[in-house]
Amino acid sequence: MTAQVIDGKAFAATVREKVAGHVARLKEEHGITPGLAVVLVGEDPASQVYVRSKGKQTVEAGMNSYEHKLEADTSEADLLAVVDQLNNDPNVHGILVQLPLPGHLNEDLIINSIAPEKDVDGFHISNVGLLGTGQKSMVPCTPLGCLMMLRDHHGSLSGMDAVVIGRSNIVGKPMAQLLLGDSCTVTIAHSRTKDLPEVVRRADIVVAAVGRPEMVPGDWIKEGATVIDVGINRIDAPEKGEGKTRLVGDVHYESAAAVAGAITPVPGGVGPMTIACLLANTVTACCRANGLAEPEGLTA
């Protein structure tokens, strides 16, 4: 079998198009422009790229983008003051603090200072609790993007065996909650899981989110399974020339694609969906803030 490639880049473009349509309607019918504020602390090069991309895509979708770039040595008090100001700004419907934060800042404290209804990352403890109890919440962007691709590919996920490899608060745990919400039988596997290959071999759906380059080989994958690769790992690529690098996922793509039914590539799979879902969450937050009907198909 050669797997069907799930094209996250193309799918993300359709999500952005839907978002732009809703934004246009909000403006025309209600005179409201959704606004997203992104806070970046420090100069991590990858974070700078992601934040630039978020700002650009926000504006392209017709929304207002507010960027707050703070020095790497910004104090916790000063960062909390910025978040507080955004919490109280009626033009800001979504707030995101780019992670990772510099080591002297307490990420949990900062994230939990964001007003839950503006927490478009879905990382606030209130949103975590709402998602875990099956209530309306803001859903973390990366797992939401994975869910959208899985629903698009399979229709119903009901009764499928899903294994999520990785137990992070940002991807693994919310992904498991979302799959459970769609009536999958869910296993969360991690570094201490006994006989991980056997656990993965049982799965109809494998979501790999461990951050270890090409850790999951094709012979762990059940024939015909759907593989969602969340990993984005930069590794040396001497074959491309001295000092060159390339991106790989947590899954060994070639061997997995030979047995899987469908697979997301890296790059161009889950990654682009993360920012598309951030835009979707911003529109959802804006509609909720204004007591308007939420767009369909843009959240879980």
Ligand X SMILES: Nc1nc2c(c(=O)[nH]1)N[C@@H](CN(C=O)c1ccc(C(=O)N[C@@H](CCC(=O)O)C(=O)O)cc1)CN2
**Binding-site positions for NADP(+):** 166-168, 232
Report d(CA 145, CA 153) in Å as an integer.
Answer: 12
Residue in 50, 68, 92, 124 binding ligand X, rule: CB under 6 A:
50
Set 18, 57, 98, 173: catalytic member: 98
Q: Using the minimum distance from each CB to ligand X, give the nearer residue, 85 or 245.
A: 245
**SS3 of residue 251 by DSSP:** strand
Whether the upstream peptide bond of residue 34 has omega within 30° of 0, thus cis, is: no
Residue 137 contacts ligand X per CB under 6 A: no
292: left (phi over 0), alpha (psi -120 to 50) or beta: beta
Residue 143 contacts ligand X per CB under 6 A: no
44 given a catalytic annotation: no
Binding-site string for ligand X from residue 78 to residue 107, where x marks contact by CB under 6 A and - marks none: ------------------xxxx--------
Cite the DSSP H helix spans in the chain: 8-30, 45-60, 76-87, 107-111, 125-132, 141-154, 172-181, 196-201, 253-257, 270-289
- Binding residues are 166-168, 232
Nearest to ligand X by Cβ — which residue? 271
Report d(CA 135, CA 138) in Å as an integer.
Answer: 10
CB atoms within 10 A of CB 55: 16
229 given a catalytic annotation: no
54 given a catalytic annotation: yes
Residue 230 contacts ligand X per CB under 6 A: no
Q: Using the minimum distance from each CB to ligand X, give the nearer residue, 26 or 65.
A: 65
Q: Which residues bind ligand X (CB under 6 A)?
A: 50, 96-99, 121, 141-142, 232, 247, 266-268, 271-272, 274-275
